[in-house]
């Protein structure tokens, strides 16, 4: 079977610096990767070049050239959304980086960002070629290049990875990544948010976003917003379920086990939906399976997905609610009840069938054979013993 490689075109918004009294200092640092399948690459490159010519004529497609012309920016993004591309973004809130942390130094700050972005991309994709702007005046991308090249080895024998630089003047998809980072800045960076004029680019790009990784992660503002939107939102349930999911990801972040990597990928997607879209929406099983296919894994059957991915996560104390509509990280008491009721509807009929089987054998042998008397079935016997 031919391996469909993925290409990640990377660019960023913001810069290192913590002098927030300086009007030119960004409050957030945003790194965006546009993900393209190898088979779609020629089409995406040509179509993006057509968009560039249409809106920028002979110049580069740069977010800074659009500025606060949101009507123009939205028109460009509408055309980019039609292309077979997807987006991963890493958003660092520099205001929440503690002063006594090593991240207040440029070298350690860049190294940390590099590690986070690289690990997210490499653990998600089996075959990935990372492409960024050519070495030059951008000290972050130069740092990113050096870091990735020092790490450039496959996670397993079946993985391939590569990193290369291209001049953004000649690689228009990198220019599109700059445009995406600049657009998302209007959702996150405090100074840009003041200039957003009501435009919500995060919402507009939602269907194309695979994940937005926030650092440092916090549920405080999330909890407040959800409580306002949904009176049934339960902070305690949402909090413990969130922490259990994060614990699994952090504990297994360095795994080379292919199945565990798929579990992490699904959990990341469930958490993204939990934190960035309505927490009340169940995600269909088909959508989750297709997410793995997009990341480069072979398509799993529904049964295999449930047993290898969902069941194993639950065995590791990750709480995942399920219903006929799909799966989600629960945030309400009703959603936990949904899971229990769903399981009850499966388990109780099976238990009753076991009881009927034993009753028939017991009656047919005049009571000489009672399967539930065996030690290995003692737990089943207790379930059917009337008090």
Domain assignment of residue 1, yes or no? no
Distance, CA of 269 to CA of 377 (rounded, Å): 39
* 203 and 245 inside one domain: no
* 59 and 197 inside one domain: yes
* 23 and 52 inside one domain: yes
Provide DSSP, 194-260.
TT-TT--HHHHTGGGEEEEEEES--SHHHHHHHHHH-TTB-HHHHHHHHHHHHHHHHHTTT---HHH
Summarize pLDDT for 96-154 with one digit per residue, the tens. 775 555 677 788 788 878 877 877 787 777 777 888 776 545 677 778 877 777 766 55
Domain assignment of residue 352, yes or no? yes
Predicted confidence (pLDDT) at residue 157 exceeds the cutoff of 70: no
Residue 87's closest CA among 216, 199, 184?
Answer: 184
Instruction: Supply the CATH number for residue 132's domain.
Output: 3.30.420.10
In the prediction, which pLDDT does 87 show? 94
In the prediction, which pLDDT does 274 show? 79
* 24 and 157 inside one domain: yes
In eight-state DSSP terms, residue 284 is P
Domain assignment of residue 253, yes or no? yes
* 145 and 237 inside one domain: no
* 46 and 74 inside one domain: yes
* 176 and 232 inside one domain: no
* 176 and 254 inside one domain: no
Summarize pLDDT for 66-95 with one digit per residue, the tens. 999 999 999 999 999 999 999 999 998 888
Question: CA torsion angle for 68, 72, 76, 82 (degrees, to 10)?
Answer: 110
* 180 and 232 inside one domain: no
Summarize pLDDT for 240-296 with one digit per residue, the tens. 888 889 899 989 988 888 899 999 989 988 887 777 655 567 889 998 998 888 788
In the prediction, which pLDDT does 82 show? 96
Q: Which of 164, 187, 215 is the last residue of a domain?
A: 215
Domain assignment of residue 26, yes or no? yes
Domain assignment of residue 325, yes or no? yes
Q: Which of 184, 215, 246 is the last residue of a domain?
A: 215
Please count the structural domains in the chain.
3
* 177 and 228 inside one domain: no
Half-sphere exposure of 238 (CA within 13 A, CB side): 22
> pLDDT higher for 186 or 331?
186
Distance, CA of 158 to CA of 254 (rounded, Å): 17
* 273 and 186 inside one domain: no
Range of the domain at 110: 6-215
Summarize pLDDT for 294-335 with one digit per residue, the tens. 788 889 999 999 999 999 999 999 999 988 889 998 888 888
Domain assignment of residue 361, yes or no? yes
* 89 and 175 inside one domain: yes
Q: Which of 151, 186, 215 is the last residue of a domain?
A: 215
Predicted confidence (pLDDT) at residue 220 exceeds the cutoff of 70: no
């Amino acid at each position: 079977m031919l391996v469909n490689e993925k290409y990640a075109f990377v660019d960023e918004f913001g810069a290192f610096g913590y002098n927030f009294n300086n009007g030119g200092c960004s409050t957030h640092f945003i790194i965006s990767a546009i993900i393209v399948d190898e088979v779609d690459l020629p089409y995406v490159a040509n179509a993006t070049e057509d968009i560039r010519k249409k809106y920028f004529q002979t110049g580069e497609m740069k977010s800074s050239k659009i500025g606060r012309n949101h009507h123009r920016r939205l028109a460009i993004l509408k055309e980019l959304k039609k292309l077979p591309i997807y987006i991963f973004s890493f958003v660092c809130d520099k205001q929440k980086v503690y002063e006594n942390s090593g991240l207040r130094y440029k070298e350690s700050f860049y190294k940390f960002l590099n590690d986070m972005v690289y690990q997210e991309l490499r653990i998600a994709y089996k075959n990935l070629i990372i492409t960024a702007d050519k070495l030059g005046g951008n000290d972050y991308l130069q740092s990113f290049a050096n870091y990735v090249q020092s790490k450039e080895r496959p996670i397993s024998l079946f993985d391939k990875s590569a990193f290369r630089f291209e001049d953004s003047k000649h690689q228009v998809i990198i220019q599109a990544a700059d445009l995406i980072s600049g657009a998302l800045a209007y959702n996150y960076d405090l100074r840009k948010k003041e200039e957003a004029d009501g435009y919500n680019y995060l919402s507009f790009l939602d269907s194309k976003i695979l994940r937005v990784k926030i650092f440092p992660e916090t549920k405080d503002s999330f909890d407040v917003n959800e409580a306002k939107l949904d009176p049934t939102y339960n902070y305690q349930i949402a909090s413990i379920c969130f922490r259990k999911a994060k614990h699994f990801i952090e504990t297994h972040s360095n795994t080379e086990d292919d199945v565990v990597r798929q579990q992490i990928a699904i959990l990341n997607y469930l958490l993204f939906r939990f934190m960035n879209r309505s927490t009340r929406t169940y995600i269909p099983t088909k959508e989750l399976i297709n997410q793995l296919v997009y990341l480069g894994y072979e398509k799993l059957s529904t049964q295999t997905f449930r047993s290898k991915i969902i069941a194993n996560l639950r065995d590791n104390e990750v709480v995942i609610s399920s219903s006929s509509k799909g799966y989600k990280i629960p945030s309400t008491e009703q959603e936990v009840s949904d899971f229990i009721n769903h399981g009850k509807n499966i388990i109780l009929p099976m238990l009753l069938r076991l009881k009927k089987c034993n009753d028939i054998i017991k009656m047919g042998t005049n009571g000489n054979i009672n399967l539930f008397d065996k030690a290995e079935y003692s737990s089943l016997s207790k379930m059917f013993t009337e008090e």
